[in-house]
Structure 1
Amino acid sequence: MTQATIRTVAVIGTGLIGTGWAALFRHAGLAVRAWDPAPGTAAALAGRLAALDRDLDAAGIPGAPGGTLSVHASLEDAVAGADFVQENGPERLDLKQETLAAIDRAAAAHAVIASSSSALRVSDMQSACARPGRVVLGHPFNPSHLMPLVEVAGGEATGPGAVELARGFYERLGKRPVVLAREVPGHLALRLMAAMWREAIHLVADGVATAEDVDRAFMYGPAPKWALQGSFLSNHLGAGDAGMEAFLDRFGDTYQRLWDDLGTARLDRATAERVVIETERSARGRTTAQLREERDRGLPEMLKVLHRHASL
């Protein structure tokens, strides 16, 4: 099987992430077979998919005709006949192991099984599977139907063909996959986010700036350029036409001094309370639903710019 021959996808777990995947798969013209242990799955999916379809169209994400969605009474029924399985269960190792083992028993021998886990190691999740060679990481970012990034990795028992097939399949859907050569807790992007957010919290807790100004500094400073070219290529341009070597010669000592001075924030009770207060002040009375609506109104336009102009 190749990524081009994947026609049927099972979505196991239809919470926030799973529903986004289901919408994207159907939008791409695939037959989607969904299952979730929660009652009322079919009605919940039906109520959310129309809005997600509008998001996909607004973001200019390429679609294809013929996509279908069916909701099944059991995990086994959902994965029957699937070429690719996207698992989206709770972030608990014991549940991941149990769910992936059940999928492995029921899925066709050729099917690749991907987990949306945000931090767990594939080697640990695949350990209860009889055929662990087809289990990979396929971690999206929220909202999963729109955000381009998918982190792909294999575990100790994963075959290299499964990783490459998953990468190609996600790319076919319009995603921008990255492949980890080695497993690390939190994968790739979450670790980068954790490093940035640790310093952001340190600056707020230390009284250097408000949460709003920390967010503004990132939003209107590095974020637009990093969105288009990332940190390495952006700094490659930071010393004129001389490139990264000149940038490191000119600013390397400055960065080293900054790294040596970065904070080591701890999320103790006092720090957590400060972060909550600062964040609520920054929200200026807007509810989380209102903030989400603001984000989702702007995100499709930003993604269209990325698809047209991003360097990577």
Structure 2
Amino acid sequence: MNTLRIGLVGFGVIGQRWAAAFAHAGHDVQAYDPGGDREVAFQESLPSLMADLDGLHGPQAAPGRIRLFKTLADALHGVGFVQESGPEDLGLKRKLLAEIEEHVADDVVIASSSSALLVSDMQADCRIPGRIVLGHPFNPAHLMPLVEIVGGKATSPEAVATARALYDAIGKKPVTLNREVTGHLALRLMGAMWREAIALVRDGVASVEDVDRAFIYGPGAKWTLQGAFISNQLNASGMDDFLKKYGPTYEAIWDTLLDARLDAETIHAVVESTKAAVGGRSQDELRAAREAGLVALLKTVAERGAL
């Protein structure tokens, strides 16, 4: 894919990491944030973001230029693709997407980073709703390869294909949903697992440390490389054999899965057990360890992963 001029609307944590990812892949980035000037903070963090991407993809000979503008019109002048990363507020999104349309050509695809809102609701006030898609990244957005793509009721298949091709070209691993669901794909999978994890901690079955340890050193490592389906079929002679052998066990587990609501008692139990697992380490320490580990882990997945 040829390099593009990328318009970024919303330049908080997500927008800044999108900027690094696009620029590292060679695209020029033009950004705007209605909340004010984020230039100083971004310039301080940019070397670290680009170093992360160098570690993951290798140094780039000609990274794109990243510029911040004071007006939406200036930021979107001449762009070939827009990534919107504003707050999770439906009224604001509808207004913002319609405003973005006023400053870009009719064939420019506009992708939203929204983590929970439905595209059909967001595109309702747009002049050309067919070009609005979801392009939801996974945190930290500059490193994590996953981008979830889904169109709304009025979105054209061409817009979905254009977004997927661009994300592919910058080294992401996009997935396309065939229809809209609340929470998209990854958050639904996480939500199902985390509900059980919280309930287990709440009911005193295990601590936060041991629940997380069970996942990290159990299915987590295998699923990271091969996903749940391929990984599980290797526990038998194939998926058909696995389901015959272990299907009753899973059905018995499903029949006894716990429910969880975030009431005061549950929150207290989870918070206190999490504090014990953290063991005094700061957020910055944990975040730095995560970022450093992700680079090595994702390089291994790129070399050995099944998908």
TM-score between the two structures when normalised by the length of structure 2: 0.98
The answer to whether the aligner puts 1:287 opposite 2:282 as a matched pair is yes
CA distance in 2, matches of 1:172, 1:29: 10
Q: CA deviation at 1:92?
A: 1.1
Aligned equivalent of 2:245: 250
The 1-side partners of 2:25 and 2:89 are apart by 30
Q: Deviations over 1:139-185 (max 9, x none)?
A: 00011000010000100010100000101110011110000001000
Q: Could you tell me whether the CA contact under 8 Å between 1:28 and 1:64 is conserved in 2? A: no
Structure 1 counterpart SS, 2:188: helix
Change (3 A) 1:175 1:307: same
Q: Pick from 8, 23, 27: which aligns with 2:20?
A: 23
RMSD: 1.1
| Residue in structure 2 matching 1:232, options 215, 221, 229 | 229
The answer for the alignment partner of 1:53 in structure 2 is: 50
Q: Secondary structure at the match of 1:146?
A: coil
Q: How far 1:63 sits from its partner (Å)?
A: 3.8
**Contiguous gaps of at least 5 residues in structure 2:** none
Q: Do the aligned partners of 1:35 and 1:41 also contact (CA within 8 Å) in 2?
A: no
- Deviations along 1:108-140, one digit per CA (max 9) or x if unpaired, are 112110000011110001111111110000000
**What are the equivalent positions in structure 2 for 1:16-165 lying under 5 Å apart?**
16-60=13-57, 63=60, 65-165=62-162
3-state SS in 1 of match to 2:211: helix
Deviation above 4 Å: which 4+ runs of structure 1?
none
| Matched residue type, 1:276 | V
How far is 1:61 from its partner? Answer: 5.4
* Residues paired across the two proteins, number: 307
2:170 to 168, 173, 179: 173
CA distance in 1, matches of 2:246, 2:61: 48
Is 1:310 the counterpart of 2:305 in the alignment?
yes
SS at match of 1:128: coil
Identity among equivalent pairs (%): 53
Where does residue 194 of structure 1 map in the other structure? 191
Greater shift in the superposed pair: 191-200 or 271-280: 271-280
Q: What is the TM-score with the length of structure 1 in the denominator?
A: 0.96
Uncovered stretches (5+) of structure 1, i.e. residues with no partner: none
Among candidates 267, 276, 280, match of residue 272 of structure 1: 267
Q: CA contact under 8 A between 1:28 and 1:62: conserved in structure 2?
A: no
Residue type of the alignment partner of 1:187? H
For residue 64 of structure 1, report the CA deviation from its aligned partner: 5.2
User: Is the contact between residue 20 and residue 145 of structure 1 (CA under 8 Å) also seen in structure 2?
Assistant: yes
